[in-house]
Amino acid sequence: MKGLEKRLVYLFTGEFFAAVTFTFIYVFYSVNPNDSFSLLYVFVVLNFILLQGSFYWFIKWLRLKRKEMVFANFYKFLYVLKKLNLILIMVGPVIFLVDVFLWERVSYFGSVLTLFIYVFAIIEYVNYYHIQLTNYKKGRGKPSSIAKELYNINFHRNGIHHLNKYNGGKR
């Protein structure tokens, strides 16, 4: 158990520290000299997704530490966040186009940085809610922890009992 606890602490503190670091860089290093709304938007979306990962691993750590249910509506909350993330990601290009063509506030550097952070946010979303990209081998990825749990909860809640694709075919 000690190894798992350390791993969970490492995961939730790492994701939180990444969000804090990106915020620090954005605020103190003037990466947005033209006040591009699209650049600010993708920074916020990325940090929002990183904080969800931190929160997920923190709740998992608390449950392990206390050996009891913490935050009973946790999976409903994750399901809502998953849908909200998708909406936020889909709105990103629209905001970018408005920023470029209507407000004309995006420099070349700002465009490249916006695109980079936008892609990074999508990668983080996929990594948390779909496929563990760190274990991606030979064109196949291992389902993420959140994906497995949301899948299992959904089938148990709906009373559907058949082979689960995320647990090796076990019932």
What is the distance between the alpha carbons of residues 85 and 9, in angstroms, rounded to a whole number? Answer: 24
What is the distance between the alpha carbons of residues 87 and 95, in angstroms, rounded to a whole number? Answer: 12
What is the distance between the alpha carbons of residues 98 and 41, in angstroms, rounded to a whole number? Answer: 12
pLDDT at 134 (0 to 100): 74
Number of domains in the chain: 1
Q: Examine the pLDDT at 155 and tell me if it is beyond 80.
A: no
- Per the CB < 8 A criterion, the answer to whether 139 and 158 are in contact is no
Burial state string for 39-77 with b = 16 or more CB within 10 A and e = fewer than 16: bbbbbbbbbbbbbbbbbbbbbbbeeeeeeeeeeeebbee
Look at residue 154 and tell me if it is in a domain. no
Q: Examine the pLDDT at 128 and tell me if it is beyond 80.
A: yes
Look at residue 110 and tell me if it is in a domain. yes
Structural domain including 54 reads: 2-129
pLDDT at 169 (0 to 100): 46
- Higher pLDDT among residues 170 and 150, named by residue: 150
**Distance linking the first and last C-alpha atoms of the chain:** 25
> Which residues have CB under 8 Å from 121's CB, separation 6+?
42, 45, 46, 49, 89, 92
Q: Give the pLDDT mean for 144-156.
A: 76
- Higher pLDDT among residues 94 and 155, named by residue: 94
pLDDT at 163 (0 to 100): 38
> Which residues have CB under 8 Å from 35's CB, separation 6+?
105
pLDDT at 75 (0 to 100): 84
- Per the CB < 8 A criterion, the answer to whether 50 and 124 are in contact is yes
Taking only the tens place, the pLDDT of each residue in 158-170 is 544 443 444 444 4
Q: Examine the pLDDT at 152 and tell me if it is beyond 90.
A: no
Taking only the tens place, the pLDDT of each residue in 74-127 is 888 998 999 999 999 999 999 999 988 887 777 788 888 899 999 999 999 999
Look at residue 74 and tell me if it is in a domain. yes
Q: Give the pLDDT mean for 151-158.
A: 63
Look at residue 20 and tell me if it is in a domain. yes
What is the distance between the alpha carbons of residues 41 and 94, in angstroms, rounded to a whole number? Answer: 11
Q: Give the pLDDT mean for 14-39.
A: 85
Distances (CA, A) of 96 to 110, 120, 147, 159: 10, 16, 29, 43
What is the distance between the alpha carbons of residues 104 and 22, in angstroms, rounded to a whole number? Answer: 25
What is the distance between the alpha carbons of residues 85 and 130, in angstroms, rounded to a whole number? Answer: 12
Taking only the tens place, the pLDDT of each residue in 35-75 is 778 889 999 999 999 999 999 999 999 988 888 888 788 88
State the average pLDDT for the chain: 83
